[in-house]
Amino acid sequence: MWKNKNVWILLSGEFIAGLGLWLGIIGNLEFMQEKVPSDFLKSIILAAGLLAGIAVGPMAGRITDQVSKKKVMLISGFARALSVIFMLIAIQTGSVWWMVVFLVLLQLSAAFYFPALQAAIPLVVKEKDLLQLNGVHMNVSTISRVLGTALAGALLVIMSLSMIYVMSLVAYLALLFLTWFINIEEDTKVVKVVKGGTAPAGTSFKDVFPVVKGLPIVFMTLVLTLVPVLFLGGFNLVVINISEIQDSTAIKGLIYTFEGIGFMLGAFIVKHINQKSSPYSILFFFSLVIGLSQLILYFADIPFLTLVGFFIFGFSAGCFFPTAATIFQTNVPKDFHGRFFSFRNMLDRITFQIVLLMAGFLLDAVGLQYMCVIFGVISFVMTAVFYAKFRQQRPKLVVEEKVSQHM
């Protein structure tokens, strides 16, 4: 795997793009703290971009399955770099509306880029290396997030907000340059399997739904990913509120750092855990731990417990997401990867939007600490319900898994 130049290009590109992304995210938080007083209004602004991504999701899935993954990544990468121009205009004019334009274009490009990336990963390495590559890829993403947030926090002290976004633009252009050198062998003449034979694929996004319905292991994993998304949806608003509760700007960088270190450890260790435990055990156990990490944030006024809570969440997510990604990549037919990952992206965005709006409302209504208790309880209940359904369908899931392993 490590002799494959495509692997190194993907990982290097992820690191550079991650730096740019998190420089921009910290810049977004700084801009909104100055211009938008209400948490609910902040959540609406952030949700505007997510809604745009959801709207183009079906088209993104169809296009990703029909054309070259590399071409999709290049065009969406260019759009992502272009979006930064609008944020620079927002800073110069002090207008929140230009920030909304920036967020919309950014999320539109992401709606195409990430399904193409997820569909490209199984084409780059052998199936036995997928879990390791997913873990390493997510670790690289996390390292760039830790460095990006720390760098942004330090740079905001010594340079203008505009310069932060200029650096973000440079990173996106560097990703675009690296993507050009990826060499992915793929057959764009996609064929879908149907009862009684085969038929040309790619004309309908709806074709993915029977596939998901017919694969219980995929459906179960897809639903269970809602638990960590419940934490992640309001993540940035939670960070802002903790910073205000503790009257500390430094805590924001520390939170991202501790959560990132926890994620890296989890993504590194999960390969060894997978050798002793089933993917189901990993998903259910760490979804419970994620609920626990939310409950710990009831003590958000105590810096030490705050960092412990985010570290635990990071570690759990680091074990959870590579496992889920590998299940999707190995069980969903490759002919449907573009549409499936676009569908998953849409589902994540819809959930993010709902959680984001709910978080903004609850932060204004009951405050951070009680909101974290509510979310923690919801996570426990969701995990318990899904586990009960899993126990009912377990024989079918085991048979399905054995069949997929011998295909």
Other C-beta atoms within 10 Å of 16: how many?
Answer: 21
Q: Could you give the angle at the alpha carbon of 31 between the alpha carbons of 17 and 317, nearest 5°?
A: 45
Answering whether pTM is above 0.85, one says: no
User: DSSP secondary structure string, 215-260?
Assistant: -HHHHHHHHHTHHHHHHHTTHHHHHHHHHHHTT-SHHHHHHHHHHH
Other C-beta atoms within 10 Å of 183: how many?
Answer: 10
Calculate the alpha carbon distances from 136 to 133, 184, 264, 276, 321 in Å.
5, 19, 9, 20, 12
- Torsion, CA 154, CA 157, CA 161, CA 163, rounded to 10: -70
**Tell me, what's the pLDDT at 199?**
36
**Tell me, what's the pLDDT at 67?**
77
Write the pLDDT tens digit of every residue in 206-248. 777 787 777 777 888 888 888 888 888 778 788 888 888 888 7
Find out if CATH 1.20.1250.20 is the number for domain 5-182+210-405: yes
**Tell me, what's the pLDDT at 91?**
85
Look at residues 134, 135, 110 and name the one whose alpha carbon lies nearest to residue 120. Answer: 134
- Torsion, CA 119, CA 123, CA 127, CA 133, rounded to 10: -70
The structure tokens listed for 363 are: 């932060």
Helices in 125-249 by DSSP H: which ranges?
A: 130-158, 161-179, 208-213, 216-224, 226-232, 235-245
The residues spanned by each domain of the chain are 5-182+210-405
**Tell me, what's the pLDDT at 187?**
56
Name the residue type at position 164: I
Write the pLDDT tens digit of every residue in 361-407. 888 888 888 989 998 998 899 888 888 877 776 655 555 454 444 44
Mark the ranges of the chain whose per-residue pLDDT is less than 70.
Answer: 1-3, 125, 127, 130-131, 145-146, 149, 185-205, 393-407
Cβ contact 49:103 at 8 Å: yes
**Tell me, what's the pLDDT at 363?**
85
Cβ contact 68:188 at 8 Å: yes
**Tell me, what's the pLDDT at 192?**
43
